[in-house]
């Protein structure tokens, strides 16, 4: 296939994927293993002004509600979401396209879990 045809095919695949993706942002935790100078989360004291959902059964129920709303691509932020692989696993149980905003210092031991820096 020529480069123009290949580009057209890739564009159609991306467009199809995008049309089936419904994303939403979730604040997973107030905790972080770093305190970087200038970090918006701690500089603006979001760690003090937001409550953290620690109960896994309640979190699972909320995730199921989000799935019913059509969400399939959560973006998990924090603090540092990678500190709570149990919470991440709950999202992955119900949603196929999980993205995680991480500092990359915590290694994941959850099968199939990929994190972006």
Which residues constitute the domain of residue 31?
Answer: 22-117
Q: Evaluate whether 25 touches 33 at the Cβ level (below 8 Å).
A: no
Residue 79 belongs to some domain of the structure: yes
Residue 110 belongs to some domain of the structure: yes
Q: Left, alpha or beta for 87 (phi > 0: left; psi -120 to 50: alpha)?
A: alpha
Residue 110: per-residue pLDDT: 54
pLDDT digits (tens, 9 = 90+) for 72-92: 999 999 889 999 999 999 999
Measured distance CA(69)–CA(67) in Å, rounded: 5
Residue 4 belongs to some domain of the structure: no
Q: Cβ of 100: how many Cβ atoms within 10 Å?
A: 22
Instruction: Report mean pLDDT in 10-residue bins for the chain, 117 residues.
Output: 83 90 93 86 82 93 97 93 93 93 74 52
Sequence-ordered strand ranges (E) for the chain: 23-27, 73-77, 99-100
User: How many domains is the chain partitioned into structurally?
Assistant: 1
Measured distance CA(21)–CA(56) in Å, rounded: 25
């Amino acid at each position: 296939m020529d480069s123009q045809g290949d580009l057209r095919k890739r564009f159609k695949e991306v467009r199809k994927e995008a049309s089936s993706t419904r994303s939403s942002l979730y604040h997973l935790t107030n905790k972080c293993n770093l305190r970087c100078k200038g970090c918006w989360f701690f500089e603006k004291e979001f760690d003090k002004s937001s409550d953290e959902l620690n109960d896994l059964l309640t979190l699972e129920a909320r995730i199921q509600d989000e799935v019913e709303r059509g969400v399939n691509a959560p973006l998990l932020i924090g603090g540092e979401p990678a500190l709570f692989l149990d919470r991440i696993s709950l999202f992955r149980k119900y949603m196929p396209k999980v993205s995680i905003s991480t500092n990359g210092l915590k290694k994941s031991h959850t099968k199939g879990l990929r994190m972006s820096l």
